[in-house]
Amino acid sequence: MSYLDSELSLIHLRIEHPEQFTQPNQPTFVSELYIIPKSKDLGIIALAEIVVALFLSKKVFQRNGTPAYLNQIADVFQKMFNCSFGSIYDQQEKVFDRKPFNRTKALDFLKNLIIRKDKEDRNKQNEK
């Protein structure tokens, strides 16, 4: 009986003061970054290539310590770059359907940017 009385009291309080029982709106993350989906060097498929590579590495983890799923990594990238893969599994298929010399096109592009920047920096240091 006392349990029912306490439940009725709680219901009465919820009716009189509903604002006390609502969860505050938690702000949702909105990134200021975006990619151009059909960009030659870094579009949706290129981003999917990076996501797939991170997934295959098994070095991105969930809070419980287990490796993240492909769709979890993809969701984060979609939020970070304000884009949509549609189905990450379809994008993964497109990555693997590429010709072997093009399969890591985006990763090669990014690698070459780092190498070029390193060479430029070394040349500047040698000129001094």
pLDDT at 11: 84
Tell me: the pLDDT tens digits for 65-96?
Answer: 999 999 999 999 999 999 999 999 999 999 99
Reported pTM: 0.74
Each residue of 18-60: pLDDT tens digit?
766 666 666 778 899 999 999 888 999 999 999 999 999 999 9
d(CA 53, CA 120): 28
Instruction: Determine the number of helices (DSSP H) and then strands (DSSP E) in the chain.
Output: 5, 0
- Rounded CA separation 88/117 (Å): 31
Residues 6+ apart with CB under 8 A from 106: 41, 42, 45, 46, 47, 49, 50
Domain boundaries of the chain, sorted by first residue: 27-127
Reported as a single tens digit per residue, the pLDDT across 96-122 is: 999 999 999 999 999 999 999 999 999
